[in-house]
Amino acid sequence: MVRVSASVFSKNVGHFHDVALTQPVTVTRNGRDRTVTISAEEYHRLKRRDRQVMSLDDFTQDDLAAILALVPDRAPMDGDELPV
């Protein structure tokens, strides 16, 4: 991923739009990530996945086992462990 300041991006918009066709371009402001420019194709792909609905029948037994392995233990917390 390419990372560039807003001032450099604004002076070379065409170049970075071309770069964004093949990889994301992160635009920073005051050293912090501000926006990411991606291709329209990638944007639409992500939006389609955003709306994809799956039922449990869509998962294999291996998928379900992997998900269950990620579930944390439900150990009780005492008051000292609560976030402040």
Q: Where are the domains of the chain?
A: 1-39
Number of CB atoms found within 10 A of residue 25's CB: 22
Q: Whole-model pTM above 0.75?
A: no
Rounded to whole angstroms, the Cα distance separating 34 from 9 reads 12
Mean pLDDT, rounded, for 15-39: 97
**Residue of 23, 22, 28, 33 lying closest to 10 (CA atoms):** 28
pLDDT tens digits for range 4-21: 999 999 999 999 999 999
Domain formed by 1-39, architecture: 3-Layer(aba) Sandwich (3.40)
Rounded to whole angstroms, the Cα distance separating 39 from 28 reads 18
pLDDT tens digits for range 56-74: 888 999 998 998 888 676 6
